[in-house]
Amino acid sequence: MFHEVLLMLLALLILLWIAGSSIKVVREYERRVVFRWGRLAGLRGPGLVVIIPLIDRTVLVDLRTLAIDVPKQRIVTKDNVSVEVDAVVYYRAVEPMKAIVQVQDFQVATNLLAQTTLRDVLGQVDMDQLLSHREEMNHKIQALLDAATDPWGIKVSAVTIRDVSLPESMVRAMARQAEAERERRSRIILAEGEAQAAQRMLEAAQIYEGSAGAMHLRELQNLEEIAREKNLIIVTPRQMASAGETAAIAAAVVKKTAP
């Protein structure tokens, strides 16, 4: 009797183990690639999936977009400048069976391919192009990676160059270059201002030359400004031949400067 109960418990445990091993729950963003006797048997999921224990082997594949943090790569640009560049690659498995069958580990393979592609592409451009056309470099690397991983069932959706580290000597040289450029622009702006002012003064001189009355009024205005500033120096224009005018101006100045 005891042996029969023990056998029944053992059989129940075996049945429970078989049931637990044969029923899998696959989430919406996952798929299970099934191999039966070592041969590809198809794709399962999402939901409840029934497999045959000891016969079927499954590999779970995540269909969500994954991100690879590409470590810093030392790159020598086309103009022989050594820089360190790191990037982020976004990809996802669009064909899970290819991702398992065509490559041993698609995550590791994609990571290594991203590193080599990053070095190859950035090594063909100048440093100035790398710094000023980063978006163009991103698209070029993404296109090359996407074409290389397509046979694996992998879709590379984006590549972002995150940081470009320059040597300290290059940073100082670029700072001096930027300062020199700012100084050049400042001098150009000042020279343009001087040229415009000279042009306006030339136009004003031509107007005064053609009208003696306008010139005379301008001289009187200057004397009024001198008086307003309480300046005791009286300037007598050469056109003023009349002593009366000079006396009148002197009286106005004395009146302005009086406390």
**Whether residues 162 and 172 fall in one domain:** no
Identify the CATH number of the domain in which residue 118 sits: 3.30.479.30
Sites in the chain below the pLDDT cut of 50:
240-241, 243
pLDDT attached to residue 21: 72
**What is the DSSP track for 60-104?**
EEE-S-EEEEEEEEEEE-TTS-EEEEEEEEEEEESSHHHHHHSSS
Alpha-helical runs (H) found in 123-242: 127-132, 134-149, 168-210, 212-228
**Whether residues 77 and 124 fall in one domain:** yes
For residues 237 and 251, what is the distance between their CA atoms, to the nearest angstrom?
A: 16
Q: Which residues contact 233 (CB under 8 A, 6 or more apart)?
A: 226
pLDDT attached to residue 215: 62
**Whether residues 101 and 139 fall in one domain:** yes
**Whether residues 259 and 231 fall in one domain:** yes
Report pTM. Answer: 0.64
**Whether residues 105 and 192 fall in one domain:** no
**Whether residues 224 and 194 fall in one domain:** no
Number of domains present in the structure of the chain: 4
Q: What are the Cα distances from residue 104, in Å, to 23, 145, 163, 228?
A: 26, 17, 30, 92
**Whether residues 161 and 235 fall in one domain:** no
Q: Which of 46, 62, 78 is the last residue of a domain?
A: 62
**Whether residues 114 and 193 fall in one domain:** no
**Whether residues 58 and 70 fall in one domain:** no
pLDDT attached to residue 241: 46
pLDDT attached to residue 5: 72
**Whether residues 137 and 147 fall in one domain:** yes
Contact status, residue 82 vs residue 75, Cβ threshold 8 Å:
yes
pLDDT attached to residue 107: 92
**Whether residues 147 and 135 fall in one domain:** yes
* Number of Cβ atoms within 10 Å of the Cβ of 44: 20
Q: Which of 43, 62, 81 is the last residue of a domain?
A: 62
The separation between CA 99 and the C-alpha centre of its own chain, rounded to angstroms, equals: 32
Query: 51 lies in which domain range?
Result: 2-62
Map tokens 């129940």 to a residue.
Answer: 12
**Whether residues 37 and 56 fall in one domain:** yes
